[in-house]
Amino acid sequence: MKRHRHHRHRFFKPILRPAAGRKLPRELTPRKVTRLAEALPEGVRDSGFETLLRRIDGSPLFGGNDVEVYFRGEDAFTAMREAVDAAEKEILLESYIYKDDETGVALFKALARAAARGVVVKVLVDALGSASTHATFWEEMTRHGIEHRMFHPLFEQLWYQPFRDHRKILVIDRRLAFTGGMNIGEEYGSVVRNKKVKPGDTWRDTHVKVIGPTAWEMAVVFSEGWERAGGSTLELEPLSADEAEGPTPRVLVLDSRFRRGQAESAAALAALVAAARQSVWITNAYFAPGWAAVRTLTRAARRGVDVRLMLPGRSDVPLARHAGHGYYSRLLSRGVRIFEYQASILHAKTLVADGYVSVIGSTNLDFRSFLFNAECDLMILCDDVARRMTGAFEEDMKNAVEIHRPEWRRRPFLHRLGDRMARWLSPLL
C-alpha cells in the first residue's frame, strides 16, 4: 500500500502502513511535530510539508486523482448507487452503521443486482453500530450472493468490545472509492420522497468520491477490517508507481485502528494545523479533543491564523456536546472562534486549511476515535477541493450561532457544572 524508498521497484505493495506497533520518532509525535511544521517557509504549500507527512505516516501521497465532494446525503447516496450499478468486478463496502430502512434497502437492491451479474460483493459492518438492523436483512444478503461480516460481534471476545470499526468506505473495482462521515441510513436525507423526513431532521454531513490510485489504497484498508472479521484474504496486486504519480489532487490516506496509525493520524493533523498560515476551519460532530489538541489550536490562533470550529448546536449524543463545551472557555480566551450549527444535527468531520488542504473522513476529535476506533480520512492537497470546502463552511455559518466569550462566561451555573463533568467523562464517551 505504501511507497518503497526512492521508487526502486516502481511498485507499491499492498501492505498497511504505518505498521502495527510502530513507534514514531520523538520529533514527529503530536506534541513535538508542530515546531517542524511551523518552521516550513511556505507552510502547507511548502514542498517540505509533503515530506513531513510522509515521514509521519510512512505513506505516499498519490497524485492523479479526480475528487468530488458531497454535502447532502441525497447526492452522495445517488452517486454510490450509480457506482455500484456500474461495477464490473468487485464491490467492497464497510460501514459502522448499515440500517435496513429505505436508504439501506435501496443500496442493498443495487448490491444484489451487482451480485446477480457476477460482481463479487463484500459487506463489512460494525456489530455494535448496526445492532438495530434485523437479522433477516443479513440473511437476505446471503440469499442474494452477498458475502457479509460483522466486526467484533457483540458478547464475543469481550476484551475487544470497546474497539469498533467506525470507517465508512465503498470501493468499486479498486479504481473508485467513497469515504466520509455518512453511515447508511435515512437520517442523511437520501430518500427525498419520504414525507416522514423533515428538512430539519436531515443531518448535515460530508462525503467524498475519489477516482484514481487512492481507491486501490482504500481497498487495502478495507482488507484489514475484513480479515479481522473472519473474511477471506483479499488478493491485491501491487500498484504501479507510474499510476500514482500525477498532478493534484494529491491524496494521503490516514487510516488507523487500535494500536496502529492512531499516533500518526494525530501527528499529521497537528502538523497541518501548525503549518497553516492563514486559516484552519474545522467541522466536527463530537468534539472532546483533550488539552493537547486544544493547545495546538490555540497556538495557531496566537500566530494570527484564523481558527474556526463548526460544532453541533443539536446532537444525537448530548453528553458529547457538553464535553466539548468544557473546552470552550480556553479556546475562546485564546482567539479561536466557535460556531454552533443550528439547522439540523451536524455529523461531518472535516478540516480545510489555507484554501489548499482538506481533510474529509470518519474521525471525530474525541478520545474514542484516537484510542479505540478504526477510522479512515483523506487529506487532499488541491486548491479546487479546498475552495468547495471553504464555500460549504461559509454556507454553514449562515445556519450557525457564534459563541462569544462574554455571553459564554454568563451561562448558568448548572450548565457550567454539567460541561465540566462531561469533560471529565469524555475519555469514556
- Sequence-distant (≥ 6) Cβ neighbours of residue 180 within 8 angstroms: 70, 76, 168, 205, 206, 207, 208, 348, 349, 360, 361, 362
Are the C-beta atoms of 53 and 275 separated by less than 8 Å?
no
Catalytic residue numbers, as ranges: 166, 168, 173, 347, 349, 354
Task: Kindly give the pairing relationship between strand 279-284 and strand 349-353.
Answer: antiparallel
Amino acid (one-letter) located at 335: G
- Residue 113 C-alpha cell reads as 443486482
Task: Kindly give the pairing relationship between strand 400-403 and strand 176-180.
Answer: unpaired
Cis peptide before 60 (omega within 30 of 0): no
DSSP letter for each residue of 173-231: TTTEEEEES--BSGGG---TT-TTS-GGGSPB--EEEEESHHHHHHHHHHHHHHHHTTP
Residue 52 CA from chain centroid, whole number = 21
User: Could you give the C-alpha distances from 314 to 192, 319, 424, in angstroms and in order?
Assistant: 22, 11, 21
Give Rg (Cα) of the chain: 21
Cis peptide before 18 (omega within 30 of 0): yes
